[in-house]
Amino acid sequence: MATRKKRKRKKKGMSYQWKLVLSLLVLILLVGGLFLLDWNRRFELEVKQYPEFGIEIPVDYSLHGIDVSRYQKRINWEAVKAMDIQNIRISFVFIKATEGENDQDAQFKRNWKNARQSGLPSGAYHFFIPSRDPVKQAANFIKNVTLKPGDLPPVLDVEQTSNLPASVIQARSKVWLRLVEQHYGVKPVIYTNADFYDKYLGKAFDAYPLWVAHYYEKRKPRIKRDWTLWQHNDAGHVNGIDANVDFNVFNGDSLAFRAFLIK
């Protein structure tokens, strides 16, 4: 019987399909790596960590400010004004003045006097309680707050519902805003958080300057309407204040800020 010669099997190389898959994987990894590098670069451009302030600060804004109340206790306003970290300074302050129909913040008079003496542009705000009489709340603010040219506009801090529907909150807020505008001759600012504005205020208040609280966003608050001030963090550190403090930015340059001040 004749014997057959055994043929040597040829080693098969990588198939075309597998080469294609491998090429695609390499491309995906390359693109993903470039995306991560770009994302990191963008992140670094949007915020910067300042150990002295204890927080990340958005870098797209030139005017930074704080807001305070009795919770910050006694404040050394000269130290606040003098703090300068890589050209980041405190350029303005809002101070809690009143709450409800009769209450005045325990530190308001001291803060109001000393902040102004330090040369910081200052503004006062009223903590609104929707279940209370808005006329009496406006009278409480007006009785305790005297504004002059160079001050910031008055602020209505509305962030509680008191278990009332949006229609009632809107109606009572409008009373306070109208009375305060009539007295000072300047349109008040509304302070609230982004969700509260959408749920309980909305388009009926779009004509008012908005100071919106939306923490830990990197570039800007997530809200559809225009805004003037953004409270971006509640855990900042400032020389002269022995407590955490809210940080804010003004949405504009120095010319826009001067135009925002009371004339």
Active-site positions read 159
255-259 long-range contacts (CB < 8 A, ≥24 apart) are 257/63, 257/91, 257/92, 257/121
How many Å is the maximal CA-CA distance in the chain?
122
Torsion (CA) 141, 143, 145, 149 in degrees, nearest 10: 120
Closest residue by Cα to residue 66 from 22, 32, 77, 173: 77
- CA-CA distance, 92 to 247, in Å (whole number)? 10
Q: Is the dihedral of CA 24, 30, 35, 36 positive or negative?
A: positive
- Paired tokens of 26: 């390499």
